[in-house]
Structure 1
Amino acid sequence: MVAKIKSGKSLIGALNYNENKVKQDKAVLIAAVGYPKDAECLSFYDKLFRLTDLAAMNQRSKTNAVHISLNFPNGEYLADETLRGIAGDYLRGIGFATQPYLVYRHEDAGHPHIHIVTTNIKRNGERINLHYLGQNESEKIRKVIEIKYGLTKAEEQTQQKPDLKAAIAVASYGKAETKRTITNILSFTLRSYKFTSVPELNAVLQQYHIQADRGAKDSRMYAREGLIYWVLDQQGNKIGVPIKASTIYGKPTLKSLEEKFRLNTQLRKPFKEGLIKILDLVLAKPQTKNTFQGELLKKDIQVILRQNDEGRIYGVTFIDQKNKVVFNGSDLGKAYSANQLSAQLLPDLPGKINRQRQSDDEIAGNVLRQTATGGNELMDVLFAAEREDLAALNKFKRKKRKGLKL
């Protein structure tokens, strides 16, 4: 079992997160301990006010929200009754025995887990100290619970590498709250991928139908280094109302992203040579745009080619999905820039070629059939142009002979 403790200043934010998951059928409230009603009878405000009333007992403490997740490995599915017992034992172990709390079973990731929402302010106004809570009390009770319930140990669980990408759903406007959807996707992307510019970030985000937008270069927002995030439709068009970066959890503003860009510039360096070797191997054979993208996709490398209306490539980005690194083509070297690739890749005409081959085969077949039956109509049609040219040539020769009196 892996336990994660987050503390904050917004009880309503922690509650909203879980209640939105319930609305999306991705979570279920399985316990409400320390409440005057049964869990199924509680309204949103019943859940909230029980916690905020306690938090109000200590006006000086700004941090009054505690949001805990207990995570179990794939395949370790536990009954709700067991999960309720684990949650209760864990909270008693970290000193929250007298606190009211809510337990949600989540089904929005690749592994089983529960979320617990509570407050660290007691009825008498005293504050439960959260300093080193995760390192000390949490670690002790975690080990006791693993033995008691026969759970996979945290040391073994952390060796597993779940497919995080599979746990992140592509944004679909209107299906869930826009801000929450963008927050979830950004949280995963910023944590998992190494990119060094907004366009490189967008190369990843657009996989999930999200886009970071600085605005037009002559706009006020661009001048003030503002940043907003959009949800995109299936065609890649912006839809709905954009969300300001400063209002999103973690504040993924341009300023904070630029710090990440500088760090990622160093972090992605070890993966550069490996990517170049793969590109060289694929480009050693003649490739069209489609085959180039297809061959690299087999090696977990996504190629994003930006083309103008005439089909000319003016930009290229490589996403190494295995190592979660993003490179602009020119950053790898001149040979992998948009201009060089545009000159090297053959044109994509598979549809036209196939249709032509099919047409040629049909004509050849008809010719064979007509010849076998002694028919000459199709032959006359096929060679009409050539016969006209031949007749014209003979006519020209006759005139020339006549002129020469031959």
Structure 2
Amino acid sequence: MLDPFDATGHMSHERCMASFEPFLQANRRTTNTVFHVSLNPSPEDRLTDEHLGEIAREYMERMGYGEQSYIVFKHRDIAREHLHIVSLRIDREGRKLPHDFEARRSVEITRDLEQKYGLHPSIKGQELQDREELRKVDYQKGDVKQQVSSTVRSCLRHYRCASFGEWRTLLETFNVSVEERTGTIDGRDYAGMIYGALTDDGHGIGTPFKSSRIGKDVGYEALQRYYERSKTALKEPGALDGLREKVVDEMARCSSRAEFCERLHDKGVDAVFRLNAAGRIYGVTFIDHKQGIAANGSLLGRSFSANAFEQQFHTETMSMGVSRSTSKQPQSSSKELYQSDQLIHPLDAILELADVQTYEEQQQQIRKKKKRSMNRH
């Protein structure tokens, strides 16, 4: 690589691209040009930057990318330090590098490196292991991407949601945030999903990541098919009868929203009300954990709409307690830049990882300022 830093010591995206450009110019036919991998040592492995660099170099050499230009980013996630490596699948002569059985070879190489460097062995399928038991994501436990991917996949298997709104509400009950990103860049349409972690009170925590870091089965197109399958299933005769009966029964008994939510929760159903600034109900979603259904009140019928509940509980104020109100997460502060899961430009990968690195550095500065302020007091 050319020296990637400018005169001020900051990483220059232009300098990075200058190292990649000759490779891209030599082959304009290949569309999937970017090689991007994440290496995740155990939090118990205390490795210096020199050790991490040595591991990255040996990994790239054994994968067949040792003669390529590549960048290694180190990121910190709780106690876990991990590496991202960005390179190209095209060599200097314009030939596409072979990538047959790449995933299998990567697993074999990382296992060999674990033994060579005395590292803790990774759990089989650690990054995308799908746990059968559904649980809330706990950011403090680390392995956030693995927790989120497990929860998302389990929800896809065990629940039916007919729309993105219901899907988002369902995931938020398990401390997972989700956003749709659609638009056009340079005349090309794009559509994708962004996932992240939430605290128990619904606030975003950590850095969100694209669905492509989990898999195509949780991406935008896969979710569109999932919504359609769910719609068809929920239209079947009697599919929503059980949920309707539970809701109707408690509506007749309860005089407050808090009591209504509590009694439904005892029956395995979460009622999620959405309130405007004035405390008025403008939406409600019911999540039946036993039947595996997340349905807006309007899907159950007119008598279950937001207006119906607003009339029944109209004397309440916002402070009366809600099972959980939906909070929209702020848009990413970086850019509305999102490529499809299949096609990624090297500059996009560099920018994304640099944004994450900048974010982490900013968080470190904030923590240092807080610590200095506490010491003065």
TM-score (norm 2): 0.49
* Structure number with higher helix proportion: 1
Look at both structures and tell me which one has the larger radius of gyration over its CA atoms: 1
